[in-house]
Amino acid sequence: MNEQNTKSRPRYIQVLLTAVLVLTLALLAACGSGDKTGNGEQTNTEASQQNQPERNAGAVNEAPVEPEAEPAGETAYPLTLTDSTGTEVVIAQEPERVVSLVPSETEILYAIGASEQVAGVDDNSNYPKEVADKPRVGGMDTNIEAVAGLNPDLVIANGSMNGSAVEALRKMGVTVFASEPKTIEETIAHIEQIGVIVNRQQEAQEVAEEMRTELQTVLEAVKGASVKKVYLEFSPGWTVGKGEFLDEVVTLAGGKNVAGDQEGWFAMDAEQILQANPDVIIYPDMGEDTTIIDAINSRPGWNEIAAVNNGEVHAVSNDPLVRVGPRLTDGLLEVAKAIHPDRF
């Protein structure tokens, strides 16, 4: 190295240090003026995740950075629920093999797009038609061995109708979820709950919203209409009183159940119904089985009932009205049309 370079080194270093200092000051000034570029953007973004309101107030030209969330409509397992029997039920993972012990639950599973998860159904499940291909596990008397043989990871049942089967299956270590909705709103909520259980939340919500729309349609149609006295006979010689969804259906459809002073299902008192003098009589269409309508037409004195005299004895579809499932509001609409045909 020559003497000239040796003498110029101090001045070179001084110039270099000055340049670095000027650059540093410029960068600091840029950050202080609110510049969101480069490293400043990363730092401010991290801070905003701790204090989102402050970020939104200052960064008017930026979309807020939202924390990453679980996909909408996904169920987190294990899922713990308390069913209608008061039992805490733990569903470890998304059910792949579900057995339904009642037609209403079968209809729910199909309506929310869970048909491929259905491993078996009860003998009375007949809707939709595709269910005909599913293995059967008995009627009101559930074949416990048949259920177990299907190796289900979940059985869905009715708390009252399947009470003994629920108990027997639980003793065998089978996971059983029992329900017993008593109103239309409870039925709709139950459909949404089944959607959560089998991880079909979006589909279940769509079914629920459609039912709520149908319910509102009926309520708007019969609003202000005169309340008519209604007698229901949905099983030969039997009627239904308060506390059951069919009693609510009559009320929502603009009627008053003449048997509503008693609770549950019970054998009807022919004389009591005669004295109540209903304006409308509703019974289920059982196809070739005319037992109910034949009885109505042959009971002593019933020809004097207003409903009989005025031709207001109506058959309605059976299954939608006796199953607390997705077709229940269809049944409500049919009953409302029978009671107040002028409103539809």
**Predicted local confidence at residue 131, as pLDDT:** 98
Question: Which H/E stretch holds residue 286?
Answer: none
Tokens coding 144? 């416990």
pTM (two decimals): 0.78
Phi-psi sector, 134: left (phi>0), alpha (psi -120 to 50), beta: beta
Tell me how far apart the alpha carbons of residues 267 and 344 are, in angstroms, rounded to a whole number: 33
Q: Is 71 exposed, middle or buried (0-12, 13-18, 19+ CB in 10 A)?
A: exposed
**Predicted local confidence at residue 46, as pLDDT:** 29
**Predicted local confidence at residue 73, as pLDDT:** 80
H helix intervals, 127-278: 144-149, 163-171, 184-197, 201-222, 245-252, 270-276
Give yes or no for a cis peptide into 128 (omega within 30° of 0).
yes
The count of residues in the chain is 344
Contacts 24+ apart (CB under 8 A), 143-147: 144/168, 144/169, 144/172, 146/120, 147/99, 147/101, 147/120, 147/174
H helix intervals, 264-305: 270-276, 291-298
Quick: pLDDT tens for 272-322: 999 999 999 999 999 999 999 999 999 999 999 999 999 999 999 999 999
Mean pLDDT, the chain, whole residue set: 84
Helix (H, G, I), strand (E, B) or coil at 196: helix
Q: Which residues contact 157 (CB under 8 A, 6 or more apart)?
A: 100, 101, 102, 105, 165, 166, 176, 177, 178, 179
**Predicted local confidence at residue 35, as pLDDT:** 37
Residue spans of the chain under pLDDT 70? 1-72
